[in-house]
Structure 1
Amino acid sequence: MTAGLITLSAALLCLIDGSDVTQTPLLWVMEGQSATMNCSHTKDHSHDQMYWYRQLPEEGMKQIVFTTAYIDHQYESGFSADKFPATKKDALTGSLTVERLLFNDSGVYFCAVSKHSDTGD
């Protein structure tokens, strides 16, 4: 079995303005290894929610996980902490790792940040 090269590219997404969000731009990683993407922003500390998305070739964008530093991460159906461990230790930074990379993990991974909004009724 020959190991192949996996491409993980990144794009920025923010619900307000992506110019304040920075993300690992491009990773080339060998199949079977892990890859970690970092995300940070310069908005205020109220933007403490971070979302990670993935878009595979020929597919639409899918949310992987929702994170904050204060509650357990919430993974979407089809994604798990074993394959996609995420960290979020403070309001301004976070990371997503893709473990045991396979060729079909190649795609575009997005980080998005937003602030908590409680609109009530």
Structure 2
Amino acid sequence: MAECFSNGVIIDQPPSLFPEDGEGAVNLKCEQDDNQHLNMYWYRQTRGKGMELVAYSVGKDISTIEAPFNKSKYSMLRPTTLSTTLRIHPAEAGDSAVYYCASSKAQTFFGAGTKLTVLGKTRYSQKGKRRKTLVCVASGFYPDHVSVFWQLNNQSITDGVATDPAAKRDADTGNYTITSRLRVLAKHWFEPQNEFRCIVEFFDGKGHTNQSATVSCKLI
């Protein structure tokens, strides 16, 4: 859980979640430690936009979903003064964003945010099956002209892939970082003949260069 300390108020929420598109309900949880903070809020921030108020609560078991968010898709639970859950059902790719939990008395304090990344459906998707998420991170590059691809046994795959929509710039170094994730059924990960490869293609203004990393599960 990510904790944000604000004048003695601790707002605690998970830093990230990676559900699969159409998997069902996603529950974003948040706790704070001041029972005088009767008001709690959920905000959403998508890339290139300001924060949008999704829902708010003025006390235990009381909540309101703000327009234009659909009440049939979003719900806010407030089982205690100190806790709240934002439920999104079903979670879809368009719901990927950073969700901020906040609480207030006379002043509003924010948590560090939960980055929700809804992964594309995998070709192996089966209800009730365990899955593995492989993460590929490319960092320290400039400029930000980059593409990320995944292969399984030298064959391109797109199902289950979720890549950052744009590379993120480090304000201190000026270099960029991008992250891509591949979600597969655990049984396919544990098949030793399967080899997963992440390929990062860079363009420096003159030509393309590729860097790749391979990972597989070796049973010993």
User: Conserved in 1, the CA contact under 8 Å of 2:4 and 2:10?
Assistant: no
Amino acid at match of 1:39: C
Is 1:35 matched with 2:26?
Answer: yes
Cα separation, 1, equivalents of 2:51 and 2:4: 12
The aligned counterpart of 1:62 is 52
| Alpha-carbon separation, structure 2, partners of 1:18 and 1:60 | 27
Q: Are the counterparts in 1 of residues 44 and 100 from structure 2 also a CA contact under 8 Å?
A: yes
Q: TM-score, normalised by structure 2?
A: 0.43
2:105 counterpart of 1:115 = yes
Q: Is contact 1:87-1:95 (8 Å) kept?
A: yes
User: What secondary structure does 1:112 align onto?
Assistant: strand
Q: Kindly, what percent of the aligned residue pairs are identical?
A: 27
Matched residue SS, 1:87: strand
Taking structure 1 as reference, are residues 12 and 65 closer, same or farther at Cα in structure 2, changes over 3 Å only? farther
Work out whether 1:81 is the aligned partner of 2:71.
Answer: yes
1:101 lines up with 2:52 in the alignment: no
Count of matched residue positions in the alignment of Structure 1 and Structure 2: 106
In the alignment, is the contact (CA less than 8 A) between 2:61 and 2:78 conserved in 1? Answer: no
Shift of 1:82: 1.6
Q: Is the 8 A contact 1:86 1:95 kept in 2?
A: yes
- Measured in 1, the distance between the counterparts of 2:38 and 2:49 equals 28
Q: Distance in 2 between matches of 1:13 and 1:79?
A: 26
Alpha-carbon distance in structure 1 between the residues aligned to 2:100 and 2:8:
11
Deviations 1:26-57 (A, max 9, x none): 100000122111110112x1112110000011
Q: Classify 1:89/1:101 alpha carbon distance in 2 versus 1 (closer, same or farther; 3 Å).
A: same
1:46-83 per-residue CA deviation (whole Å, 9 max, x = no partner) reads 11211000001121110001113346422211113321
Q: Which has the higher contact order (CA 8 A, sep 6+)?
A: 1
- Which structure 1 residue ranges, 5 or more long, are not aligned? 1-9
Larger Rg: 2
Inter-partner Cα distance in structure 2 for 1:85 and 1:26:
19
CA contact (8 A) 1:54 1:64 kept: yes
Aligned-partner SS, 2:74 = coil
Segments ≥4 residues shifted beyond 6 Å:
10-14
Report if the CA contact (8 A) 1:48-1:116 is conserved.
no
